[in-house]
Every structure is written in structure tokens, then in C-alpha cells.
Structure 1
Amino acid sequence: MLSGFTLVRNAVSLDYPIVPAIRSILAVCDEVVVNVGRSEDGTRDLVAAIGDPRVRILDREWDFSRGSEALARETDRAMAACRGAWGLYIQADEVLHESGAALLAEKVREWDGDARVEGLLVDYLHFYGDFDTVATDRHWYRREVRVVRLGREVRSYQDAQGFRVGPGLRRVRARATGARMFHYGWARAAGSARRKREASRAIFRGAALRPEPAISERLAWTPLLRCFTGTHPQAARDWIAARQGAPVVLGPRYFRLHHLRYYLSDWLERLTGARLFEHRNYVEV
């Protein structure tokens, strides 16, 4: 049995593609557990309206007294409610391509008997500003664990980007699959991007106690933005079509000395396939 799990809060006001996200993994999951934090914008109704009996909602009051660790704790609660032997995790601003969903299901079956494998990796496309531009510098992670073997002391880590194992927080033993995850968290018009940054600031520990500069309507320019020429996941196409043409305001291009390391790293990665000093929550087996 393959379970899916995710968590979401205020998806309507923050314009998260939670319905496409859930639908993209329902294609291969026997159930999808959705931890819905108390929201003020109808998020629970939006999830319930999917109308699939495989979707199970956990109604939760998220405690942000310890900042972004709340995301890991609530992810663990969703994972603990799964009934399968493997769990497919997706975040509220991610959508799994249908080719990748089929590939992950195939690899779960293939590697289920190999006890060394605790997780499966997906490759990321990080959209930035719009749905035709991807951010590619080393600041953006290339791969992350999105399928885990359940019941092995695997737990969500820090702000829930990845997973670790046991009380010692060992890195997950994982294998690459070639499945593609589309990350739309920064494919936003200016106003939506500002609301997301405001929400992110609010959950980080101590943020409310520190003086902060005003949040700009603009998305800051970042090095190594590239055009995307492929196809988006089928589950996301209606959601994308409804947002095409929304005004996006990128900040002006600029150069800082530390940008040199991004360009150098990109050149070496294209030459060798390796990304130097890459942060990983996993080790490949």
C-alpha cells in the first residue's frame, strides 16, 4: 500500500496549488492524508471538495511557538496517520508530473525488498516569477526525498523540506528515480509573492520580535534564471491557465561578488554533473 501525505494552511489566501498537488499523487496512492491547519479562508472546504474517498483530512491547530519546526511536527503527524508501507510526501506548492508518479510507484515495487533503501529522490524544477522561468543556481535544491519507507524512524526535518532518521538525525539512504517535481512556490504575481513572504516571516521563530524591513511587491532578481520549454503536469494545467498573464514584477538585474560562485558552480556542474558542496538530507545507495 502506498500512502500519500501533505499539510496545508491558508491555501486560498496564499494561492497554493493544493488541489493539483493532491490530485497529482492520487494517481498512484491508495490514500492521501492531509493535515489541514486551522485556516481563515476556506482551505478545509477546498480540500474536502476534491470528493475522493481516499483523501483523509486531519483537522489540526498548528503551534508556531517554536517557529518553523511546527511544519516538521505537523508533517510527522500526517505521516504517522498513513496506513501504507511507503509514504509519498508532497508540499502544498508542489505538483508531481504524471510520468514521475508512475515512475515512483514502479520504483517502490522494485526496491521494496531492498532494506538499504529508505527513501526515493525526485528531481526539482523551481519556477520563479512565472510558469516559463526556472531558477537554477545552487541556492535551489536539485533533488529531495519525497518517498519514504514508513515505520523506520523516518521523521521530517527542520522546516519540513526533507527527512532524517532516528534520534541521531541520520541522513536518509535514498535512490534517484528521475521523477520530476514541479515547485510553484515562487511562480507568483507580485501581490501573491508578498503575502507568501509575510506568512513565512510570521512562522519563523522570533520573527515577530525583531524589527523587519517592509516587504516589497517585487520578486528579487536571482542569477541563472532560465526558460522552461517542457510541459507542466496535467493536474496543474487548469490552475496555471487561470493565472497566466498575471503581472509579475522582478527586481532589476544586479551583480554582487558572491554571484561568481553560482556561475562557477553552474559551469562545473554542466561540465561534470556534480554540484560542489551541495547540501543533502540523504545519502545515495
Structure 2
Amino acid sequence: MTISGFSYIRNGFEFGYPFLEAIQSILPICDEFVIAVGDSHDGTREAIVNLNSPKIKIIDTIWDEELRMSGKIFAQQANAAREHITGDWGFHIQADEIIHENDLKKIKTEIEKYDSDSKVEGLLFHFLNFWGSYDYVRTTRRIHRFEIRVFRNIPTIRSYKDSQGFRNFKTPESLENEKLAEKLHVKKIDVSVFHYNYVRNPALMKKKSDYFHRFWHNDEWLRENVETADVFYFDNVDEVELFKGSHPKIMEALVKAQDWEFRFDKSKSKFRFKDRFTHKIEKLTGWRIGEYKNYKLI
């Protein structure tokens, strides 16, 4: 049984992605790691080469700046790497996602456990979505709680929508209309993905947010909706909770280097009434009403 890690990145340093940490966080249990590196000008590719790992294979890509609908460029780039993996299982890690070193053995054990069970197409991970700093996680319905990160290397399984998850594109029609692609049958495992998408200096977060909006929206939308402020306002959030666990060791230097402060002020919470009500139900029962599920639990 072999495992292929894969990811994609472009200008990782410029936009503050912990991409080197992401790669290294799963490299110990991967037999190979394939990464699609977009046309970068900030030393991203060189830094990956300098990791000096024989497991790493770089696929050079050029991002289509005109592909500006629903984050399709990200699925395209994920698939550019995915198409080159050779292992029995694929392990997707995004450039702002880290796996804790204490969970690596558990992940490999779970893959080995289901390797001979063809009904299991993938493994579902819990997400810790950090917000504002390394001290808070966002826990409301505005973020996803679970997603597929490991799947059986079946050629028709591809990245779905904006690369958030994966589906099985069994037919030519599903390649034309991805809504026809089949959800994967998965087992949920007790492992969390540390997702640092909203952990940056507020000025860098604003720069990253403004730039990446273009891959979902046209220029008219950008003119009407992108704020002119110099920084990102982390206070503009529904609710976050204090993180009480430990960060992966590979993240220690970045956590210590944090050069800004964020403290959640509950009085500034941006909860809509309906969401506040459903969130209370979720906290009491664990049931998230109407939760989006890009998978079928078995």
C-alpha cells in the first residue's frame, strides 16, 4: 500500500501561505509528494526544491488569470498535481493546511485498515478553521467542519468545485457538468486538519483576500464589494472560540513570529438572527441544520 501526497501553490511567500510546513507535515507517511507550482516570482519553487526531498516531484504550471468563476482555477491546479500521483491512495493537503505530527501514524493505520475494503473510497477529516490568530477557531456554519483529504487512487476521482473536496467523475457528462459527479463513500476518522487560511497579519490578509477574490468574481463585483481599507477586519466575524490544543511542531516558528494581536470581542459579533439560533442548536446537540456534505458516510 502506497500513499501519494499532492498539493498546489503559486507565490506562496507573497501571500503568506505556510506551504513548506504543509508539505513537510505529511511527507513522512508519503511515498511521493506531487506539487503543482504555478508561475511564481517570489522564490516559491526554489524553496520547494531546497527541501531537498527525493519524494517531491514538481509540476510546473501557468495559471489562467481569465478563469474567474467559482474558484475553478484551484480545482484545475489540484487536478494538475493529482493526475501525476502513482500511489494506491492520494493524500491532498492545501498550502494553508497542516497535519499534526501526532496524527500521522493514525492516518496511515486508517488507510491500511480500509485498503482492502473497496466500498471505502475516501477518508473524512475534521477541520480546525483558525481565525484572526493562532488562538482562535471559527466554529459556525459559515465554514466547513469536514472534508475529504485522503481517497483511493481511482483515475476518475478528481477535485470538485474550488478544490474544497473530491468527487467521482465517472461519465463524460459529469466532466461537463460537475453536479453529475458522484459523492465518494467515506469513513470519518478522528484526525483534524489545522486550517490557517485566516491567520495572517491584517495587512497581508487584506492583500491576499483582495487578490483571490478575482478567481470567484468579475471586475464589476470587485469594484462594488472590495473595501478600500488597508487591513482586513478580523472582528467582522460571527463567532470564534479559544483554541485549547497544541499546534503542530512544524508551525512553532510561525506561531512565535506572529506580529499582530487579535482578541475576539463578542459584542461585535456579526451573527444573523437565524444563524445565532441554529448555532445554539448545534452547540447543544451537535446537529448542524442543513449542513453541506460533499460525501456519503458509510
Q: Deviations over 1:191-246 (max 9, x none)?
A: 1111111221222242467523434313242122111111001221122222x242
Residues 22 and 89 of structure 1: CA distance in aligned 2, closer, same or farther (over 3 Å): same
Equivalent residue in structure 1 for 2:232, among 199, 213, 218: 218
Q: Is the 8 A contact 1:7 1:35 kept in 2?
A: yes
Q: Deviations over 1:156-200 (max 9, x none)?
A: 111111111112211111111011110111011111111111221
Q: In the alignment, does 2:156 pair up with 1:141?
A: no
Q: In the alignment, does 2:249 pair up with 1:246?
A: no
Q: How does 1:181-260 map to 2 (within 5 A)?
A: 181-207=193-219, 211-212=223-224, 213-216=226-229, 217-221=231-235, 222-242=237-257, 244-248=258-262, 253-254=267-268, 259-260=272-273
Q: Which stretch of the first structure deviates more once superposed, 246-255 or 146-155?
A: 246-255
Identical positions, percent: 31
Residues 249 and 228 of structure 1: CA distance in aligned 2, closer, same or farther (over 3 Å): closer
Equivalent residue in structure 2 for 1:266, among 263, 269, 279: 279
Q: How does 1:37-76 map to 2 (within 5 A)?
A: 37-67=38-68, 68-76=71-79
Gaps of 5+ in 2: 175-179
Residues 152 and 118 of structure 1: CA distance in aligned 2, closer, same or farther (over 3 Å): farther
Matched with 1:3 is: 4
Distance in 1 of aligned mates of 2:52 and 2:242: 36
Q: Deviations over 1:134-174 (max 9, x none)?
A: 11111111110000111241111111111111122111111
Distance in 2 of aligned mates of 1:252 and 1:264: 16
Q: Deviations over 1:62-103 (max 9, x none)?
A: 213222211111111101100101010011011111222222
- 1:263 counterpart letter in structure 2: R
Deviation at 1:251, TM superposition (A): 9.0
- 1:33 counterpart letter in structure 2: V
Residues 105 and 271 of structure 1: CA distance in aligned 2, closer, same or farther (over 3 Å): same
Q: Deviations over 1:100-131 (max 9, x none)?
A: 22221111100011111111111111111110
Which ranges of 4 or more aligned residues in structure 1 deviate by more than 4 Å? 247-253
Q: Is the 8 A contact 2:6 2:33 kept in 1?
A: yes
Matched with 2:158 is: 155
Matched with 1:88 is: 91
Equivalent residue in structure 1 for 2:293, among 260, 280, 284: 280
Residues 33 and 131 of structure 1: CA distance in aligned 2, closer, same or farther (over 3 Å): same
Q: Which stretch of the first structure deviates more once superposed, 86-95 or 97-106?
A: 97-106
Question: How many matched pairs?
Answer: 283
Matched with 2:177 is: none
Residues 235 and 220 of structure 1: CA distance in aligned 2, closer, same or farther (over 3 Å): closer
| Matched position secondary structure for 2:290 | coil
Residues 190 and 273 of structure 1: CA distance in aligned 2, closer, same or farther (over 3 Å): same
Residues 117 and 152 of structure 1: CA distance in aligned 2, closer, same or farther (over 3 Å): farther
| Matched position secondary structure for 2:127 | strand
| Matched position secondary structure for 1:27 | helix
Gaps of 5+ in 1: none
- 1:141 counterpart letter in structure 2: H
Residues 139 and 2 of structure 1: CA distance in aligned 2, closer, same or farther (over 3 Å): same
TM-score norm. by structure 1 comes to 0.93
TM-score norm. by structure 2 comes to 0.89
Distance in 1 of aligned mates of 2:27 and 2:281: 38
Distance in 2 of aligned mates of 1:190 and 1:28: 34
